[in-house]
Chain A
Amino acid sequence: MSTIERQTPPTAAVQTPRARRRAAPPAGLVVASGALLLFATALVAPGLLATHDPYALNLADALHAPSPEYWFGTDEAGRDLYSRVVYGTRESLVIGLGATAVSLTLALVLGALAALGGRFVAGTVNRVIEVLLAFPTLLFALLLVAITGPSALSQVFAVGVGSAPGYARIIRGQILSAKNSGYVEAAVALGHSDGRILRQHIVPNAVRPLVAIIALSVGQSIVWASSLSFLGLGVAPPSPEWGALLDAGRVYITQAWWLTVIPGLVIVALALAATTLGKHIQNTLEKGEK
């Protein structure tokens, strides 16, 4: 996309805006960006979106189906589900983003050691990654929760560490492919120092694809984290965290479908939006490389 801009001569600026406009972005991307914007608003300023106090009890309106007054219905204590979902965004996203940060930091360290370390270090780290990959993500996270005990912090830690090995392997592959590329070979032939090659060639080329991985990983992390809350092993129910909402709503599944279906739908929407954005970034980067 940026190539179009670069090729456009400066005089194009005086032409009609329509002539400068690029091809319209795909509809999926527009929807995804809009959804993410909405989630970002709920994260920063939930008061703008909420219609009720998320903690106000109103027993007269308990288990009210979705209506113009209560958009997503109400729970067993008459609290407005829509406002609770809005206010729960912060906790859910912070847990998801925190887990992503933990997992990518760990993955970056492991991946870099496995790709750039000496024979012994690289071999050992590779084995460690392989061993950790033998544990499916959710089980690894459960094992970590068993050690630390259930809480929001252990959720961040468990999901982060649990999903790190997979990303470590991806990052290792990217660093290796940069390391073995023609331009690094050329730089070595030119007599550039290791530090310069690392800074100028390997880091930029290995880190750029990370942007896409971050987007994909945020969506995944939120799903894993909410799975833990759903199992009762994360944030506890009075909290409006989305997994906790699901866990609390499960009890009323025969009477109030909205208490489980809607928070789940919100999680799926966020995960899909993040994934769509991540895939789009990935595709754009791949096109840019050619």
Chain B
Amino acid sequence: MDPSSGSTAELQSFLEQEKQKAVLNELVGKLTDVCWEKCITYAPGSKFSSGEVSCLSNCAQRYLDTSTLILRRFQNMQR
């Protein structure tokens, strides 16, 4: 077995993994940014209210739904 092919594969899977992490990291950063603006209307206190917690969580999930919906719309337009 060629030793260099094994290590190239290793490197490739490492890069693929890091790329995936970077995409997720950016998504979470973006969503936190958007949802912070939407949900945290007052100066932050020592603790989130339960309303703020559920707003952040719902906001993130609905943003993803919105993204799916719009993507589907765009795909339909291309046909």
Instruction: Tell me, yes or no, whether A binds B.
Output: no
